[in-house]
């Protein structure tokens, strides 16, 4: 019996969660398995719940009561999936030996990322600090450009974010607001200077504007027909792209 496509893709993207299965098999306890994996008890249960939801059959079976206060063990399907992952590890080791460099692997990881967000900007974590209920994550995009994202502490932990970690910032085109001369940016928002590369007008009169950033990366923004007509936006014009940090989603290479 083959694995569901969703679970197969998950194993490829999030191998650290599959490793939990091995610790559960060895420890017989979620608490001890979480400690061995270096994650919180809550993170371990979240991972198990997601794996069980993705699989056609539960991979982990829970038991309650008893001298030790209950525990957990792999189901027969869980043991089978763990065996598949261990074979995948051996194949991965062979692939790593064939790759020319780590840069090749990073490139493949970025190219294989699929998302509905129109904008994807590669960046490295350059700052990480708590602000109330959120973490503010600063990302260095290269060329002196930097943006911020606001995410929950749980997301910071789940993504294992730390200074220097390579990430991909995801941003929908509809969340980007363009500012021209005389318009003031909102305090606390990201604001990047850019040059208009292309203006593609849609049937309804609205337009998708392609922007070139100073570091060679690009952004896309959606503007309404009225805005476009009033400002007479042309290719080559310099504008500023504004978007709030809460609109920035963060992804990491698998």
The β-bridge partners of 211 are: 196, 219
pLDDT attached to residue 190: 97
CATH number for 5-98: choose from 1.10.10.10, 3.90.870.10, 3.40.640.10, 3.10.690.10.
1.10.10.10
pLDDT attached to residue 103: 58
Residues of the chain with CATH 1.10.10.10: 5-98
Separation of alpha carbons 212 and 218, rounded Å: 5
pLDDT attached to residue 254: 55
Residues of the chain with confidence (pLDDT) below 70 = 1-15, 53-56, 63-70, 91-117, 253-254
Separation of alpha carbons 172 and 248, rounded Å: 8
Separation of alpha carbons 208 and 204, rounded Å: 12
Q: What does CATH list as the number for 171-244?
A: 2.40.50.100
pLDDT attached to residue 69: 42
pLDDT attached to residue 106: 58
pLDDT attached to residue 67: 46
- Collapsed DSSP state (helix, strand, coil) of residue 171: strand
Give the tens place of pLDDT for each residue, 162-195: 999 988 898 988 999 999 988 898 999 999 999 9
pLDDT attached to residue 111: 47
Residues of the chain with CATH 2.40.50.100: 171-244
Q: Which helix (H) or strand (E) holds 195?
A: strand 190-201
Could you tell me the pTM of the whole model? 0.58
């Amino acid at each position: 019996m083959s694995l569901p496509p969703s679970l197969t893709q998950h194993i490829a993207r999030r191998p650290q969660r599959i490793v939990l299965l091995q610790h559960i098999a060895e420890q017989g306890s979620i608490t001890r398995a979480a400690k061995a994996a270096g994650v919180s008890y809550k993170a371990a249960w979240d991972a198990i719940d997601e794996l069980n939801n993705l699989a056609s059959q539960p991979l982990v079976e829970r038991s309650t009561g008893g001298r030790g206060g209950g525990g957990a063990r792999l189901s027969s399907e869980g043991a089978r999936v763990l065996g598949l992952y261990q074979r995948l590890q051996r194949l991965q080791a062979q692939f790593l030996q064939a790759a020319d460099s780590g840069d090749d692997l990073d490139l493949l990881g970025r190219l294989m990322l699929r998302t509905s967000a129109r904008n994807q900007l590669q960046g490295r974590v350059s700052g990480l600090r708590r602000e109330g209920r959120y973490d503010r994550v600063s990302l260095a995009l290269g060329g002196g450009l930097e943006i911020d994202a606001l995410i929950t502490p749980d997301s910071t932990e789940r993504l294992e974010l730390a200074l220097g970690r390579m990430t991909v910032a995801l941003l929908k085109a509809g969340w980007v607001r363009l500012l021209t001369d005389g318009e003031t940016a909102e305090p606390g928002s990201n604001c990047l200077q850019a040059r208009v590369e292309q203006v593609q007008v849609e049937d309804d009169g609205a337009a998708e504007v392609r922007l070139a950033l100073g570091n060679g990366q690009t952004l896309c923004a959606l503007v309404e027909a009225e805005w476009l007509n009033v400002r007479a936006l042309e290719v080559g014009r310099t504008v500023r792209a504004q978007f709030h940090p809460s609109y920035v989603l963060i992804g990491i290479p698998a």
